[in-house]
Structure 1
Amino acid sequence: MANSDQIDEARRLLGLGEAATLKQVKAAYKMLANRYHPDRCKEIDRAKCEEMMKRMNEAYELIMKYFTDYSYSFGEEDVRRTYSHDEYLRKYHYGWFDGI
């Protein structure tokens, strides 16, 4: 299992903030992969691009493993905190006459 410093370094390499969704991680990786893929680099920069691609792949794999191994809470309070706006809209839409 990676430690917090390794995960922090990986997210920085991929240009991610301290919080990111899986979708954001994949988009960041794809954008950088398009930029640094050795087939897209000029011959003079190929070695640099290969090294960067290797580091990016390692960072991506580390973060994906972190996502895979993370324990998600399905407790009501945690779900409410995560989806507070949706919860608000649901209560407003379905419960706005409750106080009358």
Structure 2
Amino acid sequence: MRGLSVANFEEIEEARKLLGLGEYATLKQIKQAYRRMAIQHHPDKAGNGAQAEEMMKQLNAAYKLLTDYCASFSYSFREEDVARIYPYDEYLRKSRHGWFEGI
């Protein structure tokens, strides 16, 4: 992985696979995956010195890359986008406020 400010798809893909993430992950899931892998591969626990240190460097780089990518992501707070992302909430809103309006 390169140290550029803008990551390309291959770098993102490599980072998510290293952390054991699927194609979709929340920031919380990224953090949990990083912590799980860091505990597993920490040099003090893994016991294989230089190899564990190299793995920790890779894990740290992957975590930074993914969290930086998520931090620079542009979120939409428009009503139609929120409704598209959270359709169940829209369903509940309709059931409470005029489900049969316009009939």
TM-score, normalised to structure 2's length? 0.86
Q: CA deviation at 1:5?
A: 0.9
C-alpha offsets along residues 50-94 of structure 1, whole Å, 9 cap, x if unaligned?
Answer: 111100000000001101111111122211111111111222133
Give aligned pairs, total.
98
| Structure 1: segments with no counterpart, 5+ residues | none
Percent of aligned pairs with the same amino acid: 57
* SS at 1:95 equivalent: coil
**Superposition misfits of 4+ residues, deviation over 2 angstroms:** 93-100
Corresponding residue of 2:95: 92
Paired residue for 1:25? 30
Please tell me the residue identity of whatever aligns with 1:38: P
Displacement of 1:98 in angstroms is 3.9
Coordinate RMSD, CA, aligned? 1.5
Q: Distance in 2 between matches of 1:46 and 1:89?
A: 54
Q: 1:95 Cα deviation (Å)?
A: 3.0
Code of the residue aligned with 1:30 in structure 2: it is R
Specify which structure has the higher proportion of helix: 1
Aligned partner of 1:6 in structure 2 is: 11
1:39 corresponds to:
44
